[in-house]
Structure 1
Amino acid sequence: MEEGEKRIEKAVDLFKSGFNCAQAVVTAFADQYGFTEEQALHMAASFGGGIGRMRMTCGAACGLFMLAGLEKCAVEGKDHESKSANYALVQQLAEEFKKRNGSLICAEFLGLKEPEITNIPDKRTMQYYAKRPCAHLVEEAARIWLEHLEKK
């Protein structure tokens, strides 16, 4: 299996081992940006469940956008060119994610009419994984990032 496919598989495995969608995506690529797995897990911890389990922007998409920031960002406040490059990349990635998955919104993926906002994460059971598209969304986000890297 090639390295890229291993990273995609790692992202899915991380999700299936209990980490949130954002953590799974970011951690699968963290070493490429000089981060340890633990640092990546900390960095992405708040973005699962559609950001803090508020069911807003999908955690897998948030992980994808965090990777975009690791690649392109302004490190000086007045660097408008780098900010613009980051925003353009995020918008491009978001469009591809929506094209493949139909949305960017966690609640929509889960079929929720109203987000169930609670700080208590669901237990990870066979039923949890069976009724959610999250593993697929993690896989798609990791694949989109891999495709982006291959184009560079």
Structure 2
Amino acid sequence: MNTIEFIKVGLEESKNWTCRLLDDMRETPFVEPTPRGGNHPLWVLGHLIVNESVLLDEWIQGKPNRFPEYTDLFGYGSTPVADPSKYPAYDEIRPRFDEIRQDTLAFLDQLSEDDLDKPSYCVKDPFCKTVGNCFQSMILHTMSHSGNVTDSRRAVGKPPLLS
């Protein structure tokens, strides 16, 4: 397995796992993961969408974020609130994650191993200095937020999907 194949598997598996959790919370997307609040499933979904555009569009390709309408709600520094009137519907934004991840994988298919070592357009995150680092961050970021959704599932009384 080469590095690009490794990244591809990581992207596919991290999305599949996280979407399995998210889709299981489709009917209750505002359940906060702790009694003190936190990143509810709808915010996690929107945040992953906006962040993947930051990584792919802005930091890898040097283009604008394709989801400017979601940046204030879900971007860096946004604060999740459990108020449905503040957010788009789950079914409205869920396809956006599929779309951007499909574009991410298609872009990755065009790269060579050497392209992964090229510098990114990122100037503020020391972990995203190269194109390869940005792809690594996509995988890790998706998996880290799956924990929020796992906790929200437990808060609503659902059993673990794996034990």
Shorter-chain TM-score tier: 0.3 to 0.5
TM-score, length of structure 2 as denominator length = 0.36
The structure richer in helix per residue is 1
